[in-house]
Each structure stands twice: as structure tokens, then as C-alpha cells.
Structure 1
Amino acid sequence: MEETRLPNMPRRILPIGIQDFEDLRRKGYLYVDKTALVWKLVTEGKPYFLSRPRRFGKSLLITTLKAYFEGKKDLFDGLALGRLETEWKAYPVVHLDFNPSRYDSVASLNYFVADRLEKFEKKYGVPSKGGAIESRFQNLIEGIYEKTGRQVVVLVDEYDKPLLESMDNEGLNAELRAALKPFYGVLKSADTALRFVMLTGVTRFSKVSIFSDLNQLREIGMSETYAALCGITEKELVETFTPELEALAQKNQESFEQTLEAVRRNFNGYHFAKNSESVYNPFSLLNTFANQEIRYYWFATGTPTFLFKELERTRFEIIRFKDHIEAPESAINDYQPGDGTPIPLLYQSGYLTISGYDQETRTYRLGFPNEEVQYGFLNNLYKYLFPAANGMNDLDVWTFIKALRSGETDTFLTQLKAFFASVPYDLYFEKGEKYYQTIFYLVFTLLGQFAESEVRSAAGRADAVVKIRNLVYVFEFKLDKAGSAEEALRQIDEKGYLIPYSAGGHRLIKAGVVFDTGRRTLGDWRIQEA
């Protein structure tokens, strides 16, 4: 076996795609030390459940626990846990990872689980009794305990993979939940034979018995103590990756502070508890440093079509994304298939995060964590809602931005008129004002990738403000049945929409625009420079 490399070795190898702790440590990859929290976990509790978005380090956490319970002390040299642990007892470990397989039937689920259980039966010399997977699971745990005289550690990675995979098939999803219910229920009935249990997943499916039957299970998904167990804090980012940040700054001819702000804006912002510090998406960070370029790496690994379908099924108003979404804790921490809200899935999948908390009403405020999620989600949502328009592609965006940078407001509105006309009139909600509001919100928000763009609808705020270079545009839109372009211009003046921008030395342009509901695009407009 390869000798463990020293923690302070000169090579800097980024652990992109490395999910096994032993592999990471033996081959000398960079590691952000989370083992103080791991030691706290193993010494303060027994059964845990942690929910985190995909590619946030859940598998690395599980394999870190596996290495610890197998007594591989050398892997922790130089880490916090290596200093904290003194006994180093080895325990039998049953590690079930649901990631590798696909689950298109209960039979495929049973086959996968039975195959994994068979490997542990052979490893520990436990005779298989066959039968249902839950009976076999219980027999395995109790058999190992009896043979070794040591309690068993059970680590389950992505416990909900079969359920997430079948989100768009309600019948299959219900069958898989029914099959998993007694299987995970074993973790309660076999409690005396268990030393430690950890399950990870994206979503807390409340109808799976692990949450209703295993009442001693400690859920740490919204724990302030463990908020940074997966993900990277800014302190960890600077302490561990300063050379990579400096190299990125040099390539982009920016200062270190400018580069850090760009990385922060794109990948930071996840809050997993009401008073916790924010964490960065580790997958996007590592890929940014490896490629020396800021792109939307996390979002590119999977378009959340199942979430878009859930938005459609629940008739969720897209315009709600423009402000903070308010919800009680039960509405973000407990997903039940068939409920009338997609909010738990949006939060637990990482597309929304905690942005505030009202102690008096015990209500959370949710919003997009960062620009990667906001722009990636909304652009793909646009493609889902309007497949014939094929989303806001780069040509659309740069055509709009070029006109705005040049102060060519009339050209911009003409281009926007043509774009609106290309959008199919097939939104899932009732036709009318919401149709225009949704397209309007998506278009102007996506322009915000390249210009400072705000979309508001509350009284006293303009419908849209775009700030680009030394120009500030203030737009007010009206349906043709509700007012004229001249009235929209007067509203900008009467409501004082330009006042917040009048002291900055900017060139101010106001535009009153009317939606032509018959042609489903822009109609008349009037432009004035202040």
C-alpha cells in the first residue's frame, strides 16, 4: 500500500471528483480539515441524518467516518481528529452507497441492495438467510455483532437516490418509498447492535420510516453546530486556497480582493441554519481553481428538470423568486410527495438557501444563494417554460447588452419586442398579466449577469432598473388595457423612480413601455432622457 504523504507536502493537487478520504489522504490531495466536527459527531451521538445539495462533500464525509471507525489512524496524522482521538478502536463498517445504480423498478432496488448486502455477508462470514432486503439487513447487522463482539457502524450515502430519480413517476416513487420504509426501519430494531449510524441525502422524505420510526435519529441538516460540515467557509477558503486565488487574480489581471469578491459572488452564500456563517460550493470552487476560470460548474452537472416539473405541478408563481420567499421551518425541512409546494425541494436541493430568520414569527426567508444558482436556474427554467424560444442564449444577451451600453434604448426595445414575439404562449398558469411579468422578470434578471439589474413591482419602485457603465435605465411597463406609454413615463416622474440615481453623475434614461396583449409582445413605447 502506498505510504501516506505528509500533510505539508509541497505538491498542491486539487481533489476534483475525489470522494474517498483514504484515496485523498494517501495521494496527497489538498484537504480542508473538517475532522474536528467529525470527532464531535462520533463522540456526541449515534444515529444521524444530514441533508445537503449534490456535490457538496457528503460522500467524502461518509468515507472519512468509514476510515475513522476502521481505525486507520495514519490517515488522520496532522489533522484535528488525529490529535483529539486517543483510543482508535476498530469497528465493523457496513457502507451502502446508493449512487452507482439506477432504480427504474422495485426489483432493481432490491437487486442492488441484495448485491451489496451479499458482499458484507461474505466479508464478515455471516450466512445469508435470503428473503426480503430488510430481513437480510437485520440478519447482517446482528450476525456481525455476534461474530465480532463489536457493535456495527452503518453508513448510508445518498439514501434518497432511488426516490429523487423517480420524482416524475408518482406510482414508482410510492413503490420505492414503500420498499425503503421497512429497510431503513431496521436501524431502529437493531439499535443495540449499532455503534454509529449516519445517513446522507439531498431531501428529507417524511414518508420514509427513517424519520417517523427511528425517533432517536438526530437530524443535523439545519444545525448551527454542523452548518459547515460540508462546504467551505471563507476562512477555510483563504487559509487553504490563497495560492489558487492569487493565480486566478493574476490571470484575470485583478487584485486579490477583486478576485475573492468575484468568487464570493458566484459560489458563496449557502446558509444551512438560521444563524450560521455562509459556505461556498466546494465543487465549483475546485473547478474554478483547476481551470483558472469562473464558470457555472455545479449547475452544469445536472439540470433540475424534476424541480421545474414540480413548479409546474404546483403552479408556483415564478415571479416569487424576485423577492425573499417566506416559509416556516416545517415547510423547508419536510418534503412530502404530492404536497402543494415545491419549497422543500428547492431549499434542500440547494437552489434556495436561508437568507434571514424572523424570531417572532419563526419564519425563514429564502433566496438564491449566489449568481451561479440564480442565473443557471432561471436560464434553464426559461428553456423549460419556452422550449421553442430555447432560452436566453449568449447572442440574445450580448445583443441586448450592446444596445444598452451604447445608449440605444430604441434599438434595445425593438430587439426585446422581437424576442417577446418569439416566445410561445403556453405558460402553465393563467394567461394574462402573470405571463408578461414572468417573461419580464426572467429576461431582466438574466441580463443582470452583465449589468446591474433590478426587478421590482412594489409601489414606489420602478418595474426595472438597469445600470451599465455610466448609464442608468428606468423602465415602467403597462398592459395596453391599463395605461399608455405616456402614462408610464409620468409615473416614473411622479413616483420619483429616478431620484435614487440622480446624484451619481450617470446619464439617466427613462422608458415607458406598453405590452400589446393581442400580439403578446411590446407595443408602443416612449423614451426620454432626464
Structure 2
Amino acid sequence: MGEAATFENGIYRQGPARLSDLCGEKGLAIGNSNFEAVVRTSVFVDKSMLIADILKSRAAVTLFCRPRRFGKSLNLSMLQRFFEVPVGADAGADFAPLFRGLAIWEAEDGRFREHQGAYPVVRFALNDAKRPTWEETQRALAFNIVAEYLRHDYLEESASLSERERAQFAEIAGTPLTASDFSAFGQTLKLLTTLLHKHYGRPVVLLIDEYDAPVMTAYSGGFYSEAVSWLKGWLTGALKDNPSLAFAAMTGVQRISKESIFSDLNNLKVDTPLNVASDERFGFTQAEVEALADYLGMPEGVAAAREWYDGYRFGNVDVYNPWSALNYFDAGCVADAYWGNTSSNGVLGDMVRGADDAVMGRLCRLMEPDGTIEAPLDTRVVFPDVGVRSGALWSMLYLSGYVTTNDTEQPDDPEMLRCLRIPNKETSSLYRTEIIGRFASSSAPCDGALPSLANRWARSRCG
């Protein structure tokens, strides 16, 4: 801290960090993943160089895997607002002012500005398709598809489309949500990109948020094969050899096995916390937390924030949990475990419940002060297609954010042993209650030791 800071035209700069606060009220948006709303009303920690990462990448499809509440949805909303030709009620609007002063606007002499507002965009968020049965999941997916078609309802009158194409669009957009023939939705994603390409004469940007959410629920609910089979056809049709696709970006927590969903894609780039390419784009860096604390007038709060919420290593960068850091500053620097609720992750729960004594011993070893274990991380096939694959637990804990590692070299080597550790004080508390206490059987070898282990860890970290 202590670097000279400037605040001009709603942009606060301190060292390499930039914060946008166009209204100047120093408000923090907790739980708001709408980029436009956040930038217009609150403090936004600038992650706009993710746009440059995607534009400079040679991959037609990029999948970003990060833990929940690490800014994935907000980043996808940012991508949509940057790239999309405004439609509907926003038609004719100019959203460039939202990006002026952000890093992307000035990067490389402004060469990325030409992409702002230049593409038709299709966006889906699949988090609300997490339903307990396949029938309910189908209805939720159909609702999402129809809603995105209706967002582009101008296509029904497009002179650039043939009468047959307009009829195809109208049929999907007018489909009753109780329709029983869900298989008819299988080609809707590719069809929409094709129609938008013809209407605008420009290829489409495709954004899919939390693509893995319905699959994780499907595995726990017993309809995994149905969900994976449908999603594979729906996604592959739009992502593979599609001349109407400019590029696609997807987000998720877990990487669903390439063999089950992405087997036909040779243009997919997967970016996990082991990769360097976009390591600063999800989570807050030390410089960003210091800038945020100074801007909010709470510089004394950085030390506790670091102890509680720092400790993750993404690529070559140490990062904070952004959700927890924002809640911490919003609460006036009151430290607490803000990042809870893994109870919804049934697959992870099944893995821990089924762990033998040796695995439980290693889980408990992580609770020791400065406790570590060595294990390989196979981020390519962490989601089990059938049953629980040996060793997958550590990869799932890693991608879910409950353990981290500084050994991020050779990210594609699934056999390399890496030193795993619990990131910080907050995660230690949640690890104890949500991973071991909630999911382990009463006969687990470290049940009686958990409170004392947690207390010893806290004492060792807090002095």
C-alpha cells in the first residue's frame, strides 16, 4: 500500500489496480452479477482485460473453470455488454461509456474498441436449470431457450431471413413450456446462431454461464446420462464447425469429462486455476484489495482480509475470494465465513461419504496447522461418468475452492504430484463444517479431533 492514487472520471487508480465507481458513492454490489447495473451504481474491480484474453486467443471455444462466487457470472455479463449489438429495449443505446477508463479501453492503443457493440450475442445461464428430476430440468432448459429466442424476437420480422426461417424461429419462440417433445429443442442453439448471423451479416458470440450446473444435479438425481446426452447434442451442434460462430466462452466449476460432452470438439480450450492465461481475471489480487481498502477508507482492514480470504493460487497469481472480500468490506471489516453452502454439491458429498479411512486420514491431515498432502490433479476428467473414480476427490476439492496449490506448472499433467493445502482461515472453517463435519460418517477417524485441529490451525495463523 501507499502508492499514489488518482480518481478521475469515475476511475480510481492505484498501482496496477483500477476501480470504476461512476456514481462516486463507494457502494459495493453484493450478489449482483449484472455488469451494467454494477458499473452504474457501485464499485467495480476492473477485470476487463478478460476481453483481450478472449480476442487474442486462437481458441474458438474457451471454458473457464473457477470456484463458485469468483466472478464468473459478472465477467460473462461484462462480455455480453461489451460485444453485443444492443437489442430490444436497449436498441440504439451506446454502452461504450461503461468501459471508458477501464483497462480494455486503453490497452494496446485502443485497438480492442472496434469490437465493442459489434456482434450479435447469444447468452444462457444454466444455474436455474438445477432441478431434481429430468422432467423438471427439461422444462427449465426449455424456458431458458424460449426466453433467449424472445429476447431476439425481431428475427420474426427480419427481411434477411426466408419465410421458412422466420417460421422456424416463430415455432420455437412460441413453444408452450409444457411441451412434451423436448428433443425438438436439440438444434435450437445452432439455429439461433445461424439466424442471427444471417440477420446481422456478422458471426455470433456465444456465452454460456454455469454450463455444468444441471449436470452436477443430474448426477445426484440419477438422470446423468439423459442430461449429458442432450447437452452434448445441443452444445456440439453450435460449437463444432459452425460458420456462424465468432467465438464462445463458457463458465463452470467442474470440468465435465471430455469424453461425455466435448468429445467431438477439437477447438476447445479449458482454462482452470492451474493455467496462467487468465489467472488475474477471476478473484482479487493483492493490489486490487489494497486499492479497494484505500478507496473505501479502510486500509487497516487489509491484514485481516488477507488472513481470512487470500491464499488461492491461480496460475502465477495469488488471489482473494472476491465474494468474501466484498462482504468483509461491506460489513465494515468484520471477518466471517461468507462463502458457504456447499451442501448443494451432492457429487462432492457422495465422494466424501464414500471415502475410506486412508482418504479420511488425508482429509483430516489438511486440518493440521500448515497441513498439506501430495496428490495429482486431473482437471481433464474430474467428473465421474460412472461411479467415483479413484483420486477424483482431490481434483473436485481443488476446482471447488476447498484446497489450492502453488504447484501450477505443467497444468495438463494429470500424474504430477502437487502439494495441496487449505487456502485460508475462512476455508478452513468451511472445510471442517461442510466437507468433513457434514459429509463424513460418524466413524471417520478424525471426528473427535476436528475442533482441536481447527483451533490449533487458527492459533497458528493468528498468533
Please classify the TM superposition score into its range, dividing by the shorter chain length: 0.7 to 0.9
**Please, which runs of 5 or more residues in structure 2 have no aligned partner?**
1-8, 12-19, 86-94, 157-165, 173-182, 366-370
- 1: CA distance between counterparts of 2:53 and 2:220? 38
User: 2:427 pairs with 370, 373, 376, which one?
Assistant: 373
Instruction: Give the corresponding residue for 1:103.
Output: 131
Query: What amino acid does structure 1 have at the position aligned with 2:195?
Result: G
CA 208–21 in structure 1, closer or farther in 2 if over 3 Å, else same:
farther
2:95 is equivalent to residue 77 of structure 1: no
Instruction: Give the corresponding residue for 1:178.
Output: 229
Please list the CA deviations of residues 413-451 of structure 1 after superposition, one character each: whole Å capped at 9, or x if unmatched: xxxxxxxxxxxxx426xxxxxx3xx13542322223653
- 2: CA distance between counterparts of 1:331 and 1:68? 30
Instruction: Give the corresponding residue for 1:43.
Output: 56
Asked if structure 2 preserves the Cα contact closer than 8 Å seen for 1:182 and 1:209, the reply is no
Asked if structure 1 preserves the Cα contact closer than 8 Å seen for 2:256 and 2:381, the reply is no
CA 205–314 in structure 1, closer or farther in 2 if over 3 Å, else same:
farther
Tell me how far 1:209 sits from its aligned partner: 4.7
CA 447–304 in structure 1, closer or farther in 2 if over 3 Å, else same:
farther
Quick one: higher RCO (CA 8 Å, sep 6+), 1 or 2? 2
Tell me how far 1:102 sits from its aligned partner: 3.2
Asked if structure 2 preserves the Cα contact closer than 8 Å seen for 1:357 and 1:365, the reply is no
- 1: CA distance between counterparts of 2:121 and 2:409? 42
2:118 is equivalent to residue 90 of structure 1: yes
Tell me how far 1:386 sits from its aligned partner: 7.3
Instruction: Give the corresponding residue for 2:220.
Output: 168
- 2: CA distance between counterparts of 1:278 and 1:97? 28
Residue aligned with 2:284, SS: coil
Residue aligned with 1:264, SS: helix
Asked if structure 1 preserves the Cα contact closer than 8 Å seen for 2:255 and 2:379, the reply is no
Tell me how far 1:161 sits from its aligned partner: 0.8
- 2: CA distance between counterparts of 1:279 and 1:449? 21
- 2: CA distance between counterparts of 1:166 and 1:452? 41
Residue aligned with 2:205, SS: strand
Instruction: Give the corresponding residue for 1:139.
Output: 191
Asked if structure 2 preserves the Cα contact closer than 8 Å seen for 1:314 and 1:340, the reply is no
CA 324–333 in structure 1, closer or farther in 2 if over 3 Å, else same:
farther
Tell me how far 1:187 sits from its aligned partner: 2.9
Give runs of aligned pairs for residues 17-416 of structure 1, distance below 5 A: 17-27=31-41, 29-45=42-58, 46-70=60-84, 72-83=95-106, 84=110, 85-87=112-114, 88-122=116-150, 123=152, 124-125=155-156, 126=166, 127-128=168-169, 131-169=183-221, 171-189=222-240, 191-207=242-258, 209-221=260-272, 222-244=274-296, 247=298, 256=300, 259-273=301-315, 276-292=316-332, 293-299=334-340, 304=345, 306-315=347-356, 317-321=359-363, 322=365, 323-330=371-378, 334-337=382-385, 338=387, 339-341=389-391, 342-356=393-407, 362-384=416-438
Larger radius of gyration: 1
Asked if structure 2 preserves the Cα contact closer than 8 Å seen for 1:105 and 1:176, the reply is no
Residue aligned with 1:204, SS: coil
Residue aligned with 2:220, SS: coil
Instruction: Give the corresponding residue for 2:159.
Output: none
Instruction: Give the corresponding residue for 2:443.
Output: 427
- 2: CA distance between counterparts of 1:351 and 1:162? 21
Q: In terms of mean alpha carbon deviation, does 33-42 or 60-69 score higher? A: 33-42
Tell me how far 1:89 sits from its aligned partner: 4.8
- 2: CA distance between counterparts of 1:331 and 1:101? 24
Asked if structure 2 preserves the Cα contact closer than 8 Å seen for 1:303 and 1:380, the reply is no
CA 167–350 in structure 1, closer or farther in 2 if over 3 Å, else same:
farther
Asked if structure 2 preserves the Cα contact closer than 8 Å seen for 1:352 and 1:368, the reply is yes
Q: In terms of mean alpha carbon deviation, does 117-126 or 336-345 score higher? A: 117-126
- 2: CA distance between counterparts of 1:188 and 1:296? 39
Query: What amino acid does structure 2 have at the position aligned with 1:42?
Result: L
Residue aligned with 2:113, SS: coil
CA 380–112 in structure 1, closer or farther in 2 if over 3 Å, else same:
closer
Residue aligned with 1:214, SS: coil
CA 427–175 in structure 1, closer or farther in 2 if over 3 Å, else same:
farther
Residue aligned with 1:266, SS: helix
Tell me how far 1:115 sits from its aligned partner: 2.5
Residue aligned with 1:63, SS: helix
2:30 is equivalent to residue 13 of structure 1: no
Tell me how far 1:306 sits from its aligned partner: 4.3
Asked if structure 1 preserves the Cα contact closer than 8 Å seen for 2:189 and 2:238, the reply is no
CA 30–358 in structure 1, closer or farther in 2 if over 3 Å, else same:
closer
CA 261–365 in structure 1, closer or farther in 2 if over 3 Å, else same:
same
- 1: CA distance between counterparts of 2:380 and 2:120? 35
**Please, which runs of 5 or more residues in structure 1 have no aligned partner?**
250-255, 388-425, 429-434, 454-467, 470-530
Identity across matched positions, percent: 27
- 1: CA distance between counterparts of 2:409 and 2:248? 33
- 2: CA distance between counterparts of 1:205 and 1:48? 14
Question: Aligned pairs, how many?
Answer: 392
Tell me how far 1:330 sits from its aligned partner: 2.3
CA 386–364 in structure 1, closer or farther in 2 if over 3 Å, else same:
closer
- What's the Cα RMSD here? 2.8
Tell me how far 1:350 sits from its aligned partner: 0.7
Q: In terms of mean alpha carbon deviation, does 367-376 or 81-90 score higher? A: 81-90
Asked if structure 1 preserves the Cα contact closer than 8 Å seen for 2:275 and 2:408, the reply is no
Asked if structure 2 preserves the Cα contact closer than 8 Å seen for 1:333 and 1:348, the reply is no
Tell me how far 1:368 sits from its aligned partner: 0.9
TM-score w.r.t. structure 1 length? 0.68
CA 264–305 in structure 1, closer or farther in 2 if over 3 Å, else same:
farther
CA 65–346 in structure 1, closer or farther in 2 if over 3 Å, else same:
same
